Amino acid sequence: MSCCNFLQAINITLKAAMRNDERVIVLGEDVGRLGGVFHATSGLIAEFGTERVLDMPPSAVGIIGTAIGMALYGLRPIPEVQFADFLYPAFDQIINELAKYRYRSGGQYACPVIIRAPVGGGVKGGLYHSQSPEAYFCHTAGLKVVMPANPYDAKGLLLSAIRGADPVIFLEPKRLYRAAKGEVPDEDYFIPLGEARIVRSGTSLTVISYGAMLPSCLEAADALQPSGIFPEIIDLRTLIPLDLSTLLNSVQKTGRAVIVHEAPRTSGFGAEIAALLYEHAFLYLESPIIRITGYDAPFPYALESEYLPDASRVADGIRQALAF
């Protein structure tokens, strides 16, 4: 068991996967000699060489297209895109090619590409380096979408993604890279995709979140405890597949739900969660579902702290749900 931060957990996991399976290839802009813009791939090229750690030109469509070809020929590529915002030029490759190979081949061909990308705000990246595009990919059949919130989950989910046969969009909240720390087993372990985690049990209401918003939810819960408010906090961990049963069991117990994410409100993934809860747990709800999100505006630089939901906004949303 080792104590490490989120970024170190990713690095450790990549090394372990490459040692265990020579088919695993890492590729992307500056992933080799530089070790990645955040140094998630630091040390890989020294151990595995330039045939398995590929420095690619700064072209997302080229990186993803190359990874798709590798996967179809039996390799296990893990392309890194420096920021999730840079996935947009490769959207056609991801949506129309990567996501559809299993379907279009009648199940004959899998395309196990694991796309890693730092996501979200909190590091003063401005509008081109701070977006949260998870809903775009959740809308596409054939893709799995994962966003861990701590080092332990990062390792277990990434190993499961690499072992699987389907393409995965593996989003890493950059704000948590060095802020999130915890104990991580030295041996391999696997967290199944599609299992949410109840981070804190409670009875007052259900708070559903993922990624970098989880610490804000926990901070809000701590602040509300002296008032006799005890939220149950759920970390989705995997958006697609979604662990709906855990959400329903919690909402049926508490009768209220608050959903928190930093992506814009309109058509954010929280809207899908709310719709599912209304469809399957309407008779258990004692108040409208509250969404606490980013705003429907380009991600700001100077006003970043105002854009991102914080513990105060989460606490206000919880009070609103309970006051109904």
Q: One digit per residue, pLDDT tens: the chain, 324 residues?
A: 889 999 999 999 999 999 999 999 999 999 999 999 999 999 999 999 999 999 999 999 999 999 999 999 999 999 999 999 999 999 999 999 999 999 999 999 999 999 999 999 999 999 999 999 999 999 999 999 999 999 999 999 999 999 999 999 999 999 999 999 999 999 999 999 999 999 999 999 999 999 999 999 999 999 999 999 999 999 999 999 999 999 999 999 999 999 999 999 999 999 999 999 999 999 999 999 999 999 999 999 999 999 999 999 999 999 999 999
> 3-state SS string over the chain?
CEEEEHHHHHHHHHHHHHHHCCCEEEEECCCCCCCCCCCCCCCHHHHHCCCCEEECCCCHHHHHHHHHHHHHCCCEEEEECCCHHHHHHHHHHHHHHHHHHHHHCCCCCCCCCEEEEEECCCCCCCCCCCCCCHHHHHCCCCCEEECCCCHHHHHHHHHHHHHCCCCEEEEEEHHHCCCCEEEECCCCCCCCCCCCEEEECCCCCEEEECHHHHHHHHHHHHHHHHHCCCCEEEECCEEECCCHHHHHHHHHHHCCEEEEEEEECCCCHHHHHHHHHHHHHHHHCCCCCEEEEECCCCCCCCCHHHHCCCHHHHHHHHHHHHHC
Q: Residue 297, Cβ neighbours under 10 Å: how many?
A: 10
Spell out the domain ranges in the chain: 2-184, 197-323
C-alpha–C-alpha distance, residues 9 and 266, integer Å? 33
**Active site (annotated) includes residue 129:** yes
- How many residues can be counted in the chain? 324
The CATH label, of 3.40.50.920, 3.40.50.300, 3.40.50.11140, 2.40.110.10, for the domain at 197-323 is 3.40.50.920
From 129, 139, 261, 280, active-site residue: 129
Q: Does domain 2-184 have CATH number 3.40.50.300?
A: no
- For residues 77 and 82, give the distance between their C-alpha atoms in angstroms, rounded to a whole number: 16
Whole-prediction pTM: 0.97
Angle between helices 311-323 and 214-224 (to 10 degrees): 60
Q: Evaluate whether 2-184 and 197-323 have a shared fold.
A: yes
Residue 1 is predicted with a pLDDT of 83
CB-CB contact of 74 with 23 (8 Å)? yes
Euclidean distance between CA atoms 14 and 35, whole angstroms:
12
